[in-house]
Chains A and B, each alone.
Chain A
Amino acid sequence: MKYKSQKVAYWAFALSMLLIILQITYGFIQAFAHLGYDGLHEWIPFNTSMAVHKNLLVVWILSGFMGAAYYIIPDESDNELFMPILAYIQLGALAVVGVIAVAGFHFNWWEGRKFLEIPRELDFLVVVDVLLFLFVILMTLWKGKQRTTTAMILSVGLLAAALLYLPGMIWFDNHALDSFFRWWVVHLWVEGVWELIMGGILAYLLIKLTGVDREVIEKWLYVIVGLTFLSGILGTGHHYYYTGAPSYWLIVGGIFSALEPLAFMGMALFAINMYNKGEKRHPNKTAVKWTLGTAIVSFAGAGLLGLAHTIPQVNLYTHGTFVTAMHGHLAFWGAYGMIVFAIITYVMPNVTGRKIYNNALGNYAFWISLIGMLGMVSAFAAMGVTQVNLERRLGLDFMTVQQELHPHFWVLVITASIFTVGILLYVWNFMKYGLPTDEAIGMEDEFRTI
């Protein structure tokens, strides 16, 4: 690393590691409840495990994004972070709010709004926390010696993500209106501004890992994020087909969400081409794997599996079934989980000064988690197709169909266990790096592309 304050990134990543393990734990509680083993029902009913599973996902990914920004922005703007103490306070506060929120979910303190279950009282604390984060990032950029496209795209994405949280905080008596604005947050995050953040991190990694000229990479970054918004903004319509909104969303949402895979395909082709074009090879091969992996798996998960059920005529039968879970798992893992793992893999040797990046542990973590996740997604796909045909097409009773899904849930438990092994290996490797140290400052030259 170049600057001492970049060490903050380590603590954000450590928080992500802790939270992903908790998220997976609650996922297993859910899977077993589906199989009838709901011994924890009194203390952790399904809606609690669901709220925890979803919100921890959001928080660990956001924490990963924050860590990425705390590392990338000083590097790109050629400047120490502005008041790093604020960054430490902000991360600590995020962890505290997260713990309170998760604890509250066990005591019926929440809102029944998928992905946005955090009660409004805590929402205000989240807003203050995010403002503090943005203050540090934007001041660093402002005071920096240079403002690169990569840093700007990343910062605009983070700023827009914070602004888009606000429509989700308005109360509506009309449930359909509440749902309408909930998607302003959730959809415009994951199929909008989070892609900006992902694109920014991806561009940074490609610049570092391939040695391709920054101007070329950043030009294509504009094209990709341009495609994202071109399709993704009106693509929000695919959430408005059957939720009380007018029927014009069927046409607009159908057409534009069918275009959404283009942005992800662009991202995959971009990463592969830059890698092939780069004449230099970075010694951190595991980081290269995660970087190319996120670009390709996000295309499969967010792009293709999204396309599989986004056409209104198909969605009429798949809406509200495990087909959505199939798409959701590979999309979140491919696009946002893997990009966070990619940046962590790249950053760890730089902040700790330990060159253990090409060990077997890191390599196995990549492949085992990937294979596990592909297995999980196949299990969800089998559940989804079975559910759609039996319940939605043949009209069998909900619970009758649920019991027909048990074999697929066993496959889910097995493949999720494989995924968990991959994640645990990754976390173990993370711990092996040890704590960040000032001795790593200036050592980055040793890790440059050769």
Chain B
Amino acid sequence: MLSKKQALLFFLGGTILFSIIFIAMSIDTVSKGIPAHTHEENMTAQVIHGRVLWDENNCMGCHTLMGEGAYYAPELTKVYDRVGPDVMKAILTSKVPWAPHGRKMVAYGFSNEDAEGLIAFLKWVGEIDLNGYPATPPLKNRLK
């Protein structure tokens, strides 16, 4: 029968072993994987400006980006391809709430510069290699 000491060794051994593996994988991901997948060389000052605004206004409190966030407003990973920069700019600079189907977005009324920063940021996100996410809807072509 397992003794208390053996149980302690199981706990410590497993924790230490898997922590080391996790940290080693994380180092690889942070130093090589994410910079390559996100095309870090394309992260211009404008993209970073947009990233700061994304953070400051808690956009993921309603939207999802890379599938992360809240489920009140649309997923924005591919929004640049989906609606294009002109519509995005109109929404971001609007002084009245954008409200598709009555669901209101905060009317941020961003300046031109801020809106362009956010658009550049979302364009950059759209180009990240996300291992196949978001998937093309597999049943879309079956709809007649």
Mark A residues whose CB is within 8 Å of B.
Answer: 30, 33-34, 36, 38, 41, 45-48, 50-51, 108, 110-114, 117, 149, 173-180, 184, 215, 218-220, 222-223, 225-227, 229-230, 233-234, 236, 240-250, 252, 316-317, 319-322, 324-325, 387, 391-395, 398-400, 402-403
Shortest distance from the beta carbon of B20 to any chain A beta carbon, whole Å: 10
Please name 14 pairs of A and B residues whose Cβ atoms are closer than 8 Å in the assembled complex, sorted by A. Answer: A46-B61, A47-B59, A47-B62, A108-B58, A174-B40, A219-B4, A219-B7, A223-B7, A244-B37, A244-B38, A245-B33, A246-B33, A320-B69, A394-B140
Q: Are B75 and A320 in contact (CB under 8 A)?
A: yes
**Contact A34 to B69, CB < 8 A, known contacts A114-B60, A174-B43:** no
* Residue among A51, A114, A174, A393 making CB contact with B139, cutoff 8 Å: A393
Which chain A residues lie closer than 8 Å to B25 at the CB level?
234, 248-249, 252
Q: Are A219 and B40 in contact (CB under 8 A)?
A: no
* Residue among B11, B58, B75, B97 making CB contact with A110, cutoff 8 Å: B58
Shortest distance from the beta carbon of A246 to any chain B beta carbon, whole Å: 4
Shortest distance from the beta carbon of B27 to any chain A beta carbon, whole Å: 12
CA distance A341 to B128 in the complex (A): 43
* B86 at the binding interface (Cβ < 8 Å): no
Closest to B48 in A: A173
Which chain B residues lie closer than 8 Å to A41 at the CB level?
97, 104
**Contact A394 to B61, CB < 8 A, known contacts A243-B130, A402-B103:** no
Shortest distance from the beta carbon of A50 to any chain B beta carbon, whole Å: 5
Closest to A403 in B: B101
Q: Are A317 and B135 in contact (CB under 8 A)?
A: yes
Q: Are A220 and B58 in contact (CB under 8 A)?
A: no
* Residue among B43, B59, B104, B128 making CB contact with A244, cutoff 8 Å: B128
Stretch at the interface among B49-57, B87-95, B109-117: B49-57
Shortest distance from the beta carbon of B95 to any chain A beta carbon, whole Å: 14
**Contact A218 to B29, CB < 8 A, known contacts A112-B59, A403-B101:** no
Q: Are B11 and A395 in contact (CB under 8 A)?
A: no
Question: Which of A225, A245, A249 gathers the greatest number of chain B CB atoms within 10 Å?
Answer: A245
**Chain B residues numbered 23-53 whose CB sits less than 8 Å from any CB in chain A:** 25-26, 28-30, 32-35, 37-38, 40, 43, 48, 51
Q: Are B22 and A236 in contact (CB under 8 A)?
A: yes
CA distance A395 to B133 in the complex (A): 14
Interface string of B60-79 (1 = CB under 8 A from A): 11101111111111110000
Which chain A residues lie closer than 8 Å to B66 at the CB level?
176, 179, 242-244
Q: Are B54 and A176 in contact (CB under 8 A)?
A: no
Which chain A residues lie closer than 8 Å to B4 at the CB level?
149, 215, 218-219, 222
Closest to B124 in A: A175
Which chain A residues lie closer than 8 Å to B40 at the CB level?
174
Closest to B143 in A: A394
* B129 at the binding interface (Cβ < 8 Å): yes
Q: Are A322 and B71 in contact (CB under 8 A)?
A: yes
Q: Are B138 and A393 in contact (CB under 8 A)?
A: yes
Which chain B residues lie closer than 8 Å to A117 at the CB level?
58, 61
Q: Are B135 and A316 in contact (CB under 8 A)?
A: yes
Q: Are B51 and A173 in contact (CB under 8 A)?
A: yes
Closest to A153 in B: B11
Q: Are A242 and B133 in contact (CB under 8 A)?
A: yes
* Residue among B59, B61, B67, B138 making CB contact with A243, cutoff 8 Å: B67
Closest to B129 in A: A244
Q: Are B103 and A392 in contact (CB under 8 A)?
A: no
CA distance A30 to B101 in the complex (A): 17
CA distance A316 to B33 in the complex (A): 20
* Residue among B65, B72, B100 making CB contact with A33, cutoff 8 Å: B72
**Contact A50 to B22, CB < 8 A, known contacts A226-B7, A317-B135, A399-B100:** no
Which chain A residues lie closer than 8 Å to B67 at the CB level?
242-243, 319-320
CA distance A418 to B61 in the complex (A): 26
Question: Which of A47, A48, A247, A249 gathers the greatest number of chain B CB atoms within 10 Å?
Answer: A47
Which chain A residues lie closer than 8 Å to B43 at the CB level?
173-174
Closest to B70 in A: A50
Which chain A residues lie closer than 8 Å to B133 at the CB level?
241-242, 316, 319
Q: Are B29 and A112 in contact (CB under 8 A)?
A: no
CA distance A243 to B128 in the complex (A): 9
Which chain B residues lie closer than 8 Å to A175 at the CB level?
38, 51, 54, 65, 121, 125
CA distance A71 to B3 in the complex (A): 29
Shortest distance from the beta carbon of A394 to any chain B beta carbon, whole Å: 5
Shortest distance from the beta carbon of B142 to any chain A beta carbon, whole Å: 8
Shortest distance from the beta carbon of A173 to any chain B beta carbon, whole Å: 5
Q: List the 8 shortest-distance A-B pairs measured between CB atoms, nearest first.
A: A47-B61, A395-B137, A320-B67, A242-B133, A226-B11, A246-B33, A222-B7, A112-B58
